[in-house]
Amino acid sequence: MQVQVFEDYDTLSRYAADIFLEQIKKKSDSVLGLATGGTPEGFYRHLITSYKDQKLDFSRLRTFNLDEYYPIKREHPQSYWTFMHDHLFAYVNIPTSNIHLPNGETTNVDAECNRYEEEIGANGGVDIQILGIGENGHIGFNEPGASFDSRTRMVELTKNTIQANSRYFDSVEDVPRHAITMGIASIMQSKKIVILAAGVKKAEAVAKAIQGEITEAMPASILQKHPDVIFLLDKEAASLLNHN
Ligand SMILES: O=P(O)(O)OC[C@H]1O[C@](O)(CO)[C@@H](O)[C@@H]1O
């Protein structure tokens, strides 16, 4: 596992985008695993800048997002589908057919989860995955206690996550109580993982994920077992790491 600490959020975000650029240079039809949340917004801004500077071509890339609220309409302002369009897809030349997110409108959740896993497999698996980390250590919407063997499925959000995400909704009551998320085993199958954390609110989860016990109580701790993972942190998020 590699860990890099940056002076500020923008430098961290640019570094993450550069890792993706390297991957795409090597394989122009890479399968990108994408994430939502506040943390990757800077990363997406840098990808868009690289596209505008003609350093990046999205036409052959395929993307799979980690998760989507359930139930939620695709066009809902807070759906992850809308997030991805507003923060990336609307600004780059990715064909709509190459974009994949779990369908938050499905009436058959189990079939949707199986379809999503199969589609990732049919595309050869994720080459490079961007991840954020929840204040409680969640990755995707795999909350503490989620099985390390979990695959794409519907999950119930914890109070902590509903509260943290309520900043994007009119009120806490409006936050969906469920989501469809790639499982921990699905995430671990990605060939390379880049995980971002910024701000002091993430410091405890980051320290436990990197230096703590590997336990299902701290979902991100499983990353210690991944053969190619890099944590990109700002100083605040790194502030509880033990340097001995
Ligand atoms: O980057 P943020 O907004 O702090 O979110 C952290 C994590 O929480 C989620 O938004 C889900 O609650 C994840 O998608 C994200 O990785």
What pLDDT, on the 0 to 100 scale, is given for residue 142? 97
Ligand 1 atom, smallest distance to 164 CA: 12
136 lines ligand 1 (CB under 6 A): no
Across 196-200, average pLDDT: 98
**β-strands 128-131, 62-65: how paired?**
unpaired
Q: What are 134-177's pLDDT values in tens digits?
A: 999 999 999 999 999 999 999 999 998 899 999 999 999 999 99
ipTM of the complex model: 0.93
Instruction: Using the mean position of ligand 1's atoms as its centre, give its distance from the Cα of residue 46 in Å.
Output: 19
Q: What are 68-95's pLDDT values in tens digits?
A: 999 999 999 999 999 999 999 999 999 9
176 lines ligand 1 (CB under 6 A): no
pLDDT of residue 217 exceeding 90: yes
Instruction: Using the mean position of ligand 1's atoms as its centre, give its distance from the Cα of residue 133 in Å.
Output: 6
Instruction: Using the mean position of ligand 1's atoms as its centre, give its distance from the Cα of residue 121 in Å.
Output: 25
pLDDT of residue 244 exceeding 90: no
104 lines ligand 1 (CB under 6 A): no
- If one residue of 70, 131, 138, 196 were mutated to test the ligand 1 pocket, choosing by the most ligand atoms within 8 A of its CB, it would be 138
Instruction: Using the mean position of ligand 1's atoms as its centre, give its distance from the Cα of residue 120 in Å.
Output: 22
Residue nearest to atom 6 of ligand 1 (CA): 134
pTM of the model: 0.97
Across 21-44, average pLDDT: 98
Which residue out of 68, 117, 127, 143 is catalytically annotated? 143
Residue nearest to atom 8 of ligand 1 (CA): 134
pLDDT of residue 243 exceeding 90: no
What pLDDT, on the 0 to 100 scale, is given for residue 181? 98
In the chain, the percentage of residues whose pLDDT exceeds 90 is 98
HEC profile of the chain: CEEEEECCHHHHHHHHHHHHHHHHHHCCCCEEEECCCCCCHHHHHHHHHHHHCCCCCCCCCEEEECEEEECCCCCCCCCHHHHHHHHCHHHCCCCHHHEECCCCCCCCHHHHHHHHHHHHHHCCCCCEEEECCCCCCCECCECCCCCCCCCCEEEECCHHHHHHHHHHCCCHHHCCCEEEECCHHHHHCCCEEEEEECCHHHHHHHHHHHHCCCCCCCHHHHHHHCCCEEEEEECCCCCCCCCC
137 lines ligand 1 (CB under 6 A): no
Instruction: Using the mean position of ligand 1's atoms as its centre, give its distance from the Cα of residue 97 in Å.
Output: 25
Say whether 216 is catalytic: no
Say whether 67 is catalytic: yes
Which residue out of 67, 68, 112, 234 is catalytically annotated? 67
Say whether 143 is catalytic: yes
